[in-house]
Structures are given as structure tokens and as C-alpha cells.
Structure 1
């Protein structure tokens, strides 16, 4: 790793430590003693980071990436490149100022980033990413193991040769104002002002705690704006998806199209008047709950209209037209389980993808390519058995499933059989 890596890694840890120390700690210790405590912790963090950097390294041997780390407890990892899903080049603010970058690898079934390599120069990170992706592609194709090194003059960061989409930052800002957090913020401000007037005077700790709580309300929309700022999507010369986005932390990600497990189309309730929606990709290794989780599905279109969404879905899933996907609702007796929102559920089979829809407030449509199906399940709960219903799950390596809820039992088994047949045919055809 680059010699500046300990300083950058230590800086992140110091920020976390300072954030963990509460306002109450500051008021108890005083400014001087608080600063001394932070300084002592900072020195310890930097020393620990230097030791970790000195004992960390990587090698590309054959079709494996091998990473060694640790002093007392040595850890050696061998990552088969045929499991590689995507490689992301990240540049936090300090890395941008020092000309460095962090390389993150996502692999099949990974519960977290398998191999964060922090930090390399931008050129070294770009060249290493191209080499790993080339090895992964050749492993998938069963070609020769010899992979030529990228040319010395190759670009450090892959750039899109064919741009597909670029977000309008104005739309991005407005879309985040149309969120529940933004709508409830005036109520929160009014409550704080009322409390201040009634109390007459507040302590420093009380004011600081209130400001911290209000900042927490705004954190999610602000983080989304900063994260999706100047979002760009395109294809490189090898037809891979190239995503570039971020303001404080820039991220450049390369995703081979055959790694995409699911495309999700989401209509938030407050966006419908503007006729906006967003698209997300589920990639193996990125599964996880969205709020506050870095291991979530990745964005394909942060905000846009239906025409743009149709073109992007067709680019990622050739032959799929978002405007012509048909679904059928569950039988009428399923209303006992969904007395209000039954008509918002549906499922359908198209020539290329399994389509499901759900959600009354926030509507969502999931598109699962048959070739990405790993298993098919038919599940019945106690109430479903009494009503003769069942739910069909189409599982992918991305961790999410296409879900056809509360279908007639005979229809559910027929749907599961069709999914299994089409999945086998798609994999045979793709090979």
C-alpha cells in the first residue's frame, strides 16, 4: 500500500472516536482535557495504523488475489477471481487531496467488502482493477490464464465510451426535498423553538444535543445528495457498465452486465406528481438493508422520468421494455390477507425476465433475468393453507428474491415449474 495509507486510515478512525465522545464528555472534562484525550487517542491510532500498513500486502497469482495482513494474528486470504462481481474505485475527500484511491472488490455471497485495498495511487488502482476484471472475464470464458498487463499509458480510471445517463443535480436536490424527512423537518424545528421559548434558557449541552438530533433527521437525504451528486452511467469498450458519482467521496464502479442479478424500479409516493422514479441494481455481494448500510444494492438511476428508465432498463436487460411488462394480481380471496392493497401486488412471466410488483405507498417492480435464478421456492403459511394460497420466491445470488405473493396454490406450483424450466434454458442458451 502507499506510504500515506496509515495517515488516511488513522484520520478516519480519529473522526469516529471524536464523534463517539458525547457532548457530556466535553462538558465534564473541559476543552483542554478533551483536546488532550483526543490527541493521545490520535497518536495511538496512527501507531496502530502504521503497524497494520507495514504488515499488509497483496499479490495476483494465477487467477487469485492473495492478501496478507496482521502482525500478531496473521491473516491470509485467497480470493478466486471467478467469484468477482464488481470492482469499485473510491476516493474519499482526504484521498482526493493526496492523489490516492481505495479499491473495493465485491464477490459472490460476500456479506461485506471482501478485499478493501487502501490506499493506492489512482493510476495503480485503475491498472489493478483492469487486470482483475480481465482475469475474471477470462476465467468465466474458460480462456487462457495468461493475461497481458495493461499498457503503460492506459487511463487510470475506466471512462465510459458510450454515455447512457447523467443526473440533473437540480432534480436530485428537489427529489430529496420530497422525502418524509424533509416534510417533517419544519415540525421538528417548530417543536424545538416552542421548547426553547417555554424553557426560557437552555444549557450548552441541551442546545448541542438538540442540534445533533436535528442533524440526524437530515442525515439520510443529505447523504443521498452527496453520494449521487453528478451521477454518470455509461459503457466502456468492453460493454461493461461504468458508474461514476459522488461529491465528498467520488466512486467509480465497473459492473459486467452478466453480474446483474435484479433490476428494481421504485416509485416513491411523493415523487409521483413529478412523474419521477429511480432504478436500482442488485449485484451479488451487495445485498443488505438499504438504510445506512454500505452493502446495499447499487443505483442505476437516482432520479429520472419513465422514458429514461425505459432506455436504461433496455440497456441493462436487452429486449426488456419497461412499458410493456404485464402482471396478473392474486386471486380475490387473497383480500383476506391484503384488505386494502391487493391490487398493488402482481406477478408475470415475460420472454426474458420474471416480473413482480408490490407496494401501496412506495411502489416497486422487480425484474429478475431467468439466467440469474439460483433456486425457486413455494412457501405456505397457516392462513395461506386455509385459503389455498402460496407465495413463490425466485432467489438470486444477490440475496433478494422475486416474490409472487399469495397466488392460487395450483398456479404457484405451475409458476415455480415454469421458472425452473426457463432458468435452465436461459443458462444453457447463455453458455
Structure 2
């Protein structure tokens, strides 16, 4: 009796998906706003209102058509443990993003996206100098479902497979039982930005300008416009920070990942696996110390941050808060690390030639879990680097340091920020570097063959 072999299953590939149909309109709206801003009031006065409107209409039509073509030629799908994105009409571009390199996934909702119920998904990968593969725009449900699926694949968990043996199906989006960690009061956030040098010295600057104008008894349009422009420029940074960090919330999801949500005009929701955190930074601004406030930041490998702004690739963990709150957060992110018991030792006394005023605020120390460094005279800072995140250790000597017998030890991480033990005794610097290298090897465990 002979039996025929079972029929082979045909392995299918997940079909390529498109972005939301409203994506061209949202992209076009942003481009049109830029075009209108570039056409100055001088252009309006030269050509007249009707011709100006015709020019704007033609340019808007061209932008919408261009955005529509981009939408028609853009698609994405998940193949195995890769996210593949293709775009371009004349020059086709195909990108394959290995999900094991995924560091964080952020869901952004600019104002127009909030009004239309859409969201933008951004991926941060190891070694990325900029955000990889921003998918703009998807529905909030689709974006959240895709984020969960990508994070699950990046964590090497099994996604449910299709019955026909094809590509893994997207897991259904269900409400997650998150554990809230923190919610920063908006009042505290506003007060913290009022306690900045820009806000403190702005009234003095305005009073000086008004006094000079009254004494000269001359009010000119150029003078008033210049004053208003200067005021807007000074206030721009504090206002931007308030808008960015509005309604700041932290939580832990059932998978142990950190969930960060914040923003007013643009809401952002970021999921960060804690094993991707390279270091934690603590900062005590001068004007905040009277209220005993500080802020915490996370250094995430591959996180590109805001284009053209902060190149340090860090993200917020606590925009403003008290020491007890920060202590609990540090313990939650770096288990076993107590912010209140971190001890450091200062450099030798001869380092005062290099730091005549700030020597007492410099320090470095080794705890069982992290490498601790501190510095700063007016704004005091501290860096906590887990040993398992160390990529390299350097001992650097400048000409003045060689003359004084000093050296600086750098403990580098994949995130681009490093722990820095400044101006240590040369013999101590080499011993510290040896200890850091040894503890890094022990923390990472035996090397894999």
C-alpha cells in the first residue's frame, strides 16, 4: 500500500500595505503652509490679491499631486523579522530594517493628525543618525497595532502565524493593563520654565528698552518690531518646552517596557524597552535648586532626537520633579540603583589648577550596578552608566594634564554619551579604566561563540 506525500504548503508573503488615503492631504497641507510663508507680503502687494491667490492655488495643486504620487508609490510590509518599505517613482528605493536593531518606536500625532484621527509611526534603530522609516500616516489603531507587532518581533517573541503558513498576522490590538508611574502637573511644568534665565531676565530687558525709548521720546515701528521679535525669540525655548512636555505621563506595560506620553499641539507616545537604555542623566538647574527640583533624561542607543536641535540623542524621563520622585524613577529604570546613596570621590587637589572654582563638584565612583560621574558649578549634572552598556573605555591626557600628572577616563556607550571621570590621578585613571573594563565583561556575561 503506497501513500502519497501530503501536499506542500505554499508559503505566502504578506501583501504590501499603503498608508492612509488622507496622507497626501496632510503632507500637502504642511508643504502649502511653507510655500505661503515663503511668499512674503511684499509679493502680495506687488502682484495683487487675485494673482497671489492664483499662484497659491497652482502651487497647492502641484503639491497635492506630488504628494498623491508619493502615496501611490509608497508601501510597507513585514517579512520575517524585517520591516520593508518601498517608495519612489523615478528612483525606486527599497529599505529592509532588521527588527533586532530596533531600539524604540514612537507614535506621534501632530495637530492635523489629531484632527483627522491619524498618527505617524517612527522607528529608532541602533546606529541611526536620523529617524528610520517614518510611516506617515496611519490610523491610530493601525499604528498602535503595528508598533506592538514590531516590538514583539524585536523582542524575539512569537507572533501568531496565519493558517496558510504565510507571514505572521498582526496581533489584535487590545487595551493593555499599564502600571502608571508618574504624571507631571502642568502647573509645575510652567513654573519650572519661568525659572529659567530667559524668563528671569526678560522683564529687565523690556524695562531697559522702554526706559531708553521714553528718554529719547521716540517710538518707531522698527524699534517696536525689533523689541517684539527679540521678546519672541527669548520666550520661544521655554514655550516650546511647555508645549512639548504638556501632560507628561510615564507607565510600564505588561512586558516591562517604559511607555512615555506627552505633548499638547503634537502628542507623542514612545515605547522604550529598558534593556535599550544606555545611561540615565540627572540635572539640577541653578534656579530650580531653591525648590529642590531636578530633571532626568534617558540616553537611548539609536535615538536620533529632534532634527537640528539636541544632537545628544537623549530623551526625557522626568521634565521636572522632586528628588523623591526622581529617586523612585531611577530605581524603576535601573533596579538596585539608589540615587540617594551614590557616593563619588573628587579629583586630587592639584586639579584645582584646571578647575579653580568647580573642583568640589567633580567626582566619580563605582557602585555594584553603575558607573557614576558628576560635574557642574552652576548647573550640576550626574551620569549613571550601567556596566553592561559600556562599549569602550578610554584614558585621555591633554598637555596640561600631562604636566599635572592627571588624566580623564571616558566610559563610552552605544548611545553617543559617555561617563566622564575628569582629571583623575594618572595611576588612579588607569586603575579605574581596568575596573570598568572588567565589570563590563562580567555584566555582559560570557561571550557567545
Question: If the length of structure 1 is used for normalisation, what is the TM-score?
Answer: 0.91
Structure 2 residue 177 is matched with structure 1 residue 152: no
Match of 2:268 among 251, 265, 283: 251
Q: Deviations over 1:70-127 (max 9, x none)?
A: 1122211111111100000000111011010000000011111011100000000010
CA drift at 1:290: 9.8
Structure 2 residue 356 is matched with structure 1 residue 336: no
User: After superposition, where does 1:354-365 map in structure 2 within 5 Å?
Assistant: 354-365=371-382
RMSD: 2.6
Give 2:69's aligned residue.
Answer: 51
Match of 1:423, SS state, is: helix
**CA 207–41 in structure 1, closer or farther in 2 if over 3 Å, else same:** farther
The 2-side partners of 1:90 and 1:382 are apart by 48
CA drift at 1:193: 3.3
User: Between Structure 1 and Structure 2, whose CA radius of gyration is higher?
Assistant: 2
Give 1:161's aligned residue.
Answer: 178
Which 5+ residue runs of structure 2 have no aligned equivalent? 1-18, 162-166
The 2-side partners of 1:317 and 1:265 are apart by 13
Match of 2:144 among 111, 118, 126: 126
Structure 2 residue 112 is matched with structure 1 residue 94: yes
Match of 1:388 among 383, 405, 413: 405
Give 1:281's aligned residue.
Answer: 298
The 2-side partners of 1:144 and 1:417 are apart by 43
User: After superposition, where does 1:164-179 map in structure 2 within 5 Å?
Assistant: 164-179=181-196
**CA 420–202 in structure 1, closer or farther in 2 if over 3 Å, else same:** same
The 1-side partners of 2:223 and 2:21 are apart by 43
Q: Deviations over 1:3-24 (max 9, x none)?
A: 1111111222233344455666
Match of 2:331 among 314, 338, 341: 314
User: After superposition, where does 1:3-402 map in structure 2 within 5 Å?
Assistant: 3-20=21-38, 35-138=53-156, 149-155=169-175, 161-194=178-211, 197=214, 198=216, 200-203=218-221, 207-208=224-225, 210-286=227-303, 292-293=309-310, 296-402=313-419
Equivalent pairs counted in the alignment come to: 424
Q: Is the deviation greater in 311-320 or in 387-396?
A: 387-396
The 2-side partners of 1:337 and 1:236 are apart by 47
The 1-side partners of 2:307 and 2:92 are apart by 33
Instruction: Check whether the contact 2:278–2:298 (CA below 8 A) recurs between aligned residues.
Output: yes
The 2-side partners of 1:212 and 1:405 are apart by 41
Instruction: Check whether the contact 1:160–1:234 (CA below 8 A) recurs between aligned residues.
Output: no
The 2-side partners of 1:285 and 1:388 are apart by 36
Instruction: Check whether the contact 2:313–2:416 (CA below 8 A) recurs between aligned residues.
Output: no
Match of 1:226, SS state, is: helix
The 1-side partners of 2:219 and 2:400 are apart by 57
The 2-side partners of 1:298 and 1:224 are apart by 13
Instruction: Check whether the contact 1:7–1:49 (CA below 8 A) recurs between aligned residues.
Output: yes
**CA 229–258 in structure 1, closer or farther in 2 if over 3 Å, else same:** same
Structure 2 residue 445 is matched with structure 1 residue 425: no
Instruction: Check whether the contact 2:375–2:381 (CA below 8 A) recurs between aligned residues.
Output: yes
Instruction: Check whether the contact 2:159–2:168 (CA below 8 A) recurs between aligned residues.
Output: no
Q: Deviations over 1:186-223 (max 9, x none)?
A: 133334535655473434x7655543332221111111
